[in-house]
Structure 1
């Protein structure tokens, strides 16, 4: 592996750790327990930043057909379920144990994708991971906005005690920016390394984030010996 790829992998690990730490800070430390609002903010900001970076020529998003966009909708619904459940779990669990459960869920997801995988016709295929992510962002923003209204999360968020504080604004802004940068770094990493090497760096990023969380008094992470082994 050359120096450029090592730097890319280290950048990925940095954004991975920063993203999960800021998400944990808002969800758990500040106790903003409204995942429809929080994830809706992240996905809408992600869609906006993706459009801006595309217009500036920093990323390339090619056109795609309407049929290709519709074919991505099942994946978008899974994406929404994943980020919603992830927010709920991250708000309640220590970061190391959250990654343990995430690893288990990824095993099941791998088997589901393997069993249900079918080759799509060329006219239904997207051109890159960025087009797929853009559709996920837009679909998530629209659906989460409607869910926030119907579930009462919107009114609850407006009454959140820390809504106007500097720490809340900083945490939410950081979470959106770091999550977007993590997405870009992930796409770049997958395009530069083999699947096996990407898996290694994902594993190392989780180890790094888990280890650092144990030494941060902000999270006050206390693990039993059995949990630590897992």
Structure 2
């Protein structure tokens, strides 16, 4: 429930700044959000709410996460550009196309193909997303171009994260902090070289309080949403209903539905149908893949425990062998007594 609330409010705050106020300078907007994230990280560490970041870590361990930082930066930049022009339901529906990359990540991680039901849900999600773009009454080519970049970067980020499991020594919070810190370093000079800093100086709402409130809320809520997602992902090991992908799909449906009351959007009957199909199929895919993933992890854990049991008990569970060993030890003691 908390994640869904943070997800909705974060998207609403971003949409308000990007579309209503039309602050379409992603290097500055995303640079501000990631800067807020870095400051909040330091504050949470100082107050003891988070463990120390990057303590005892070598530089090459952080360098191993550099591709992940790059894909994270591309995803937030392109996502900001796409959300500025696309309605929230369309943005979230198109974002569901990243399920292909999630299934690929599961294939790489578990070396098994997902179930038939999961595969069908994924194909229906892709087909409905393409149909949404085809039947969109407010079709914006630039918005759909940037959402494609966002989908690819988000998917590659997830695949790379799965590939680095077991090799990367950074905790999830440390990885997020590195992504935020890297984004601040890169976006700060880019805002000048790309001209966003000069254009933002003429922004008409620059001295309006609602602009600053929206920017502060977007940064703080986005940071809290990411931390909540990390907590949910950690809790997923023991509870299937807490799977982050399932919770996120529910949050997307709730966000898309409630956004209709706050933001204008044109509809058609077929367009509405494809939106509903996309959201429902995404939920079906997330629910099915989470159960499938838990089954695979349980099988892997059972196989590891069996191997450990065989290693620790090479004689099996036979009760007669320890008795035989005791008789053998008595015979050895008798031989030693006779020799002495």
Partner of 1:220: 264
Counterpart Cα distance in 2 of 1:36 and 1:126 = 30
- The SS at the match of 1:92 is coil
Q: CA deviation at 1:100?
A: 1.0
Q: Which has the higher contact order (CA 8 A, sep 6+)?
A: 1
CA distance 1:114–1:134, change in 2 (3 Å): farther
Asked if 1:61 is matched to 2:52, the reply is yes
Of the candidates 158, 183, 193, which is equivalent to residue 226 of structure 2? 183
Counterpart Cα distance in 2 of 1:84 and 1:28 = 15
CA distance 1:109–1:151, change in 2 (3 Å): farther
Partner of 2:183: 140
Partner of 1:4: none
Partner of 2:256: 210
Q: CA deviation at 1:59?
A: 1.3
Provide Cα deviations, 1:18-65, integer angstroms capped at 9, x if missing partner: 000000000001000001110000001101101110111111234222
CA distance 1:199–1:119, change in 2 (3 Å): closer
RMSD over equivalenced CA pairs, Å: 2.1
The structure having more radius of gyration, on CA atoms, is 2
Partner of 2:196: 153
Partner of 1:6: none
Partner of 1:3: none
CA distance 1:198–1:165, change in 2 (3 Å): same
Matches within 5 A, 1:184-203: 184-194=227-237, 197-203=243-249
- Native 8 Å contact 2:83 2:91 kept in 1: yes
Unaligned residue ranges in structure 2 (runs of 5+): 109-158, 275-340
Of the candidates 33, 38, 42, which is equivalent to residue 47 of structure 1? 38
Counterpart Cα distance in 2 of 1:79 and 1:61 = 22
- The SS at the match of 1:215 is coil
- The SS at the match of 2:260 is helix
Provide Cα deviations, 1:3-27, integer angstroms capped at 9, x if missing partner: xxxxxxx011000000000000000
Q: CA deviation at 1:138?
A: 0.5
Of the candidates 186, 210, 213, which is equivalent to residue 170 of structure 1? 213
Counterpart Cα distance in 1 of 2:234 and 2:165 = 22
Counterpart Cα distance in 2 of 1:30 and 1:106 = 32
- Native 8 Å contact 1:213 1:221 kept in 2: no
- Native 8 Å contact 1:76 1:139 kept in 2: yes
- Native 8 Å contact 2:61 2:170 kept in 1: no
Asked if 1:18 is matched to 2:9, the reply is yes
- Native 8 Å contact 1:61 1:130 kept in 2: no
Runs of 4+ in 1 over 6 A off after TM superposition: none
Provide Cα deviations, 1:46-92, integer angstroms capped at 9, x if missing partner: 01101110111111234222111111110000001100110011110
CA distance 1:35–1:106, change in 2 (3 Å): farther
Provide Cα deviations, 1:115-155, integer angstroms capped at 9, x if missing partner: 56686597x62331100001000100111112111100011
How many residue pairs match? The answer is: 218
Partner of 2:173: 130
